[in-house]
Structure 1
Amino acid sequence: MGTVLGKSRAEKVSREVSLMASAASAFKSAPQQNKNGEGNTVPESGQGDDGAASKTENKENAARSNIQNGSTTPRKSPRKSVTNDTEVKAVTKIQSMVRGHQARQQRQKENEMATKIQKQFRKKQQKEKIEPQRRKSIKPEVKDSDEAESEALKKRHEERILRPRPWREDIPGMEENYEQLSKELQENFHAYQNEIDIVKWQSEQYIEQGVMSGTPLPRVLLISSNVPKGNYLLQVAKENPNIIVIQYNFQNGSYDDIIETVKQRLTEYKPECKARSICIYCMGTPGCLYLLYKRCCSSAKLKKGDEQDMVKFWKDMGTLMSKIPPISETIIHVMGCNILGQPTGEMLFQEIEELVKPNIVRLQAPLELSPSGKIMIETYFDFKKYKTWKTKRNTLTSVIDLES
């Protein structure tokens, strides 16, 4: 703003000076007046010589008076001195304004440079105060700006994680308390769930007692079709109406088919009837049962839960078992293989007992030559016929005389 005003003033003064110079040039070209203030006029006819003579006389008289007074230089005209003074004043004024304008511009440049230097210095000083460690850790190697920013963000994130948190450090062992509380909650939840299952099981027990009052509980004998000479095993079974004999298809059957068949036969015996015990006669190896073709039942598969239909089969089997006391007689027997020949067999039985809960069911597979094995055989089979069938089942003869 100051520069604009200075320029306008300089233009105004230069305009005034040009006007004064033009006036002075016009004044010089005009005819000069005499000392009395009368201008030189064109001499009339007859008086020209007398006027010229009077002028010369006046000049001579003025020169003599000057010599008498001690001055030899002629006096300057007052109007010419006035014009020179005004010109000098105008020139000096213009010069002062121009110099002032230049000084103001110089001061403005100096102020701008000073403010810029101060900003840079403050910025540098602030960086040194805030991130002294970061500046020390920076390697002299040249890196891209993106990499430097990513490293700075990572470092800030680590510092944020590791910074002290007094509102959490006041509570000792907070994480341990959380783990303990979660374990306690899980235990309480399982306890409540078990109590609910027990109440449900008791209510089903009372219903079954009312339905089966005065009726003996049946026993179910399941025989796999891949047992050698299994058709003769059907004849070996006891001729007792309380024993339900079922032979299922090993090659093309499924777990659901077995459960549906057992339910149907129990319903034929009596509606809403449950089995006192179930005997599964199938092939197998120590720790594994081959209930169906290419379907091995082991503890590892039951734990993983990959065989969902197998898990469902054992749970449904538990629902078919009776709840009427004595509960010790509610058993699932396994025959036809040495399932308990390895510890994995015991693990399999434990896994099945957990699956059938809340139904209380035990699994047994005693050796046939042991006393408990003899009792198991006599529960489902005619003991003499069973021994005959057992000795002749692997022979080449297709006909077995069970009466011999």
Structure 2
Amino acid sequence: MTTISAAGWFDDGSKQDNGKTKRAAGKVSAAVSSRSREAAPKQKSPNIAVTSWGHGVVGCSKKTPCAGVVTSRGINKLVKPSTHKQVAASKYASYRQEMEKNRDLSSNEHQAAITIQRHLRGFQARQMKKREEEMATKIQRQYRRWKDSGSHDCDSSTIVSSDLSTDLSTGISEFADLQAEINKLNFSAESKFEELTLGDDCQTPRLVIIASNVPHARTLQRCVREDVLSTVYDFGDSTLPGLLRTIRTVLHEYKPGVKAKSVAFVCQGGPGYFYLLAGKVITSAKLSTNKAISKFWVAFGDIMSKINPDEAYVDFIGSYVAGNRQGEQLLQDLENLMQPNVVHTRSLLEQSPTGLLMLDTYFNIPSYKTWKMTRHSKMSLM
């Protein structure tokens, strides 16, 4: 009987093909390993689809998605993800909560405003009732005094009307004092704001406004000091709003937001009046009847600087407006129209010491005197 040794040789000494022996051994080992796999319990391997390492969505199957951290060693910290619908639902829920919170806040603010107004109206009603009771008590007391005195010469209605007029005048004066205090506080606040806006290195400029109907107006403009702004406006075709725009443009070109320290109007006129434009004579009566003129001077008050109100002047040169009582009243009315801005108006005699000092702030005095001597000549010497 022929047997096979461990070395793969037959006992009879004949050597067989080594390749066939190896193939047979391989078939035996494959059959053994297949039997072992069939005997072992089957484990499902997850169907993982990963595009890159890091955080991502890992699909274990089509029905049970899961998410986790994908590393070189596998999947860590598998957690159940939130789908797009869940994310949208959570965002919508947070949005609804925020909207409800804002609605509650606005509702609370509205309710607080209503409560404050209700308490204010109640306080005003109680104060009014208290005043009515005090007035009734005062009227009754004075009526009893008058009846007990035995003197019936005066009527009770006279006593009542006198008391009412006294209380009314007292209330009006108190309201006027309160309004003046409020205007003073507003003016102070606007002055501080103007200082902060311009800075410490900016100086408010002076401005000379010359009407074109003044003789040799361009020559007079060359007499203005170098540190003073100047402009010549068309006397015949300009309007009051156009004149305001011209003044604001000149100041804006100097520096945006700056206001005038003082302004001088060089125009024609006389005691008690002056002509700002053609057909626009300015008098005290015109200020009270013409709304366009009064509106111009109200707006002009905002052009004046509030930093140093003691130097805020509006000067009228070429026409001695303050030559009579009507002129003095006109200057006072102009100051009242420009309130709450503190602006002073004046029209001085040019030959007086104060008049020469006023001219020196705007003009070169020798050049101004030369212009004045030659202003009615046909040829200009300057």
TM-score bucket (shorter structure): 0.5 to 0.7
SS where residue 269 of structure 2 aligns?
strand
CA distance in structure 2 between the aligned counterparts of 1:313 and 1:239, rounded to whole angstroms: 28
* Runs of 4+ residues over 4 Å off in structure 1: 166-169
Summarize deviations over 1:7-32 as a string: whole Å, max 9, x none. xxxxxxxxxxxxxxxxxxxxxxxxxx
Q: What is aligned with 2:197?
A: 211
Q: 1:365 aligns with which of 347, 363, 367?
A: 347
CA distance in structure 2 between the aligned counterparts of 1:181 and 1:219, rounded to whole angstroms: 47
Q: What is aligned with 2:92?
A: none
Work out which structure has the larger RCO, using CA pairs closer than 8 Å and 6 or more positions apart in sequence: 1
Contact preservation (8 Å) 2:204, 2:261:
yes
The structure whose Rg is larger is: 1
Matched, 1:245 2:230: yes
Residue 169 of structure 1 deviates from its aligned partner by 8.9
Residue 168 of structure 1 deviates from its aligned partner by 11
**TM-score normalized by structure 2?**
0.58
CA distance in structure 2 between the aligned counterparts of 1:271 and 1:191, rounded to whole angstroms: 35
Q: 2:356 aligns with which of 366, 374, 379?
A: 374
CA distance in structure 2 between the aligned counterparts of 1:357 and 1:249, rounded to whole angstroms: 28
CA distance in structure 2 between the aligned counterparts of 1:185 and 1:255, rounded to whole angstroms: 38
Q: Which runs of 5+ in 2 are unaligned?
A: 1-138, 145-155
Q: 1:63-142 residue pairs with structure 2 within 5 A?
A: none
Q: 1:186-265 residue pairs with structure 2 within 5 A?
A: 186-212=172-198, 213-240=200-227, 243-265=228-250
Residue 170 of structure 1 deviates from its aligned partner by 3.0
CA distance in structure 1 between the aligned counterparts of 2:319 and 2:338, rounded to whole angstroms: 22
SS where residue 278 of structure 1 aligns?
strand
Letter in 2 for 1:291: L
Q: 2:280 aligns with which of 256, 270, 295?
A: 295
Q: What is aligned with 1:6?
A: none
Q: What is aligned with 2:260?
A: 275
Residue 300 of structure 1 deviates from its aligned partner by 2.1
SS where residue 361 of structure 2 aligns?
helix
Q: What is aligned with 1:335?
A: 317
CA distance in structure 2 between the aligned counterparts of 1:207 and 1:245, rounded to whole angstroms: 26
Matched, 1:401 2:374: no
CA distance in structure 2 between the aligned counterparts of 1:267 and 1:348, rounded to whole angstroms: 30
CA distance in structure 1 between the aligned counterparts of 2:361 and 2:163, rounded to whole angstroms: 55
Letter in 2 for 1:209: E
Letter in 2 for 1:234: Q
CA distance in structure 2 between the aligned counterparts of 1:372 and 1:168, rounded to whole angstroms: 61
CA distance in structure 1 between the aligned counterparts of 2:304 and 2:356, rounded to whole angstroms: 23
CA distance in structure 1 between the aligned counterparts of 2:170 and 2:258, rounded to whole angstroms: 40
CA distance in structure 1 between the aligned counterparts of 2:363 and 2:294, rounded to whole angstroms: 29
Contact preservation (8 Å) 2:322, 2:346:
no
Between Structure 1 and Structure 2, which shows a larger proportion of strand residues? 2
CA distance in structure 1 between the aligned counterparts of 2:277 and 2:229, rounded to whole angstroms: 20
Q: Which runs of 5+ in 1 are unaligned?
A: 1-165
Q: What is aligned with 1:284?
A: 269
Q: What is aligned with 2:30?
A: none
**TM-score normalized by structure 1?**
0.54
SS where residue 223 of structure 1 aligns?
strand
Between Structure 1 and Structure 2, which shows a larger proportion of helix residues? 1
CA distance in structure 2 between the aligned counterparts of 1:369 and 1:169, rounded to whole angstroms: 64
How much identity, in percent, do the aligned residues show? 32
Letter in 2 for 1:184: T
CA distance in structure 1 between the aligned counterparts of 2:351 and 2:188, rounded to whole angstroms: 37
Matched, 1:383 2:365: yes
Judge which range, 360-369 or 273-282, deviates more: 360-369
CA distance in structure 1 between the aligned counterparts of 2:226 and 2:368, rounded to whole angstroms: 13
* Root mean square deviation, CA, Å: 1.9
Q: What is aligned with 2:305?
A: 322
SS where residue 380 of structure 2 aligns?
coil
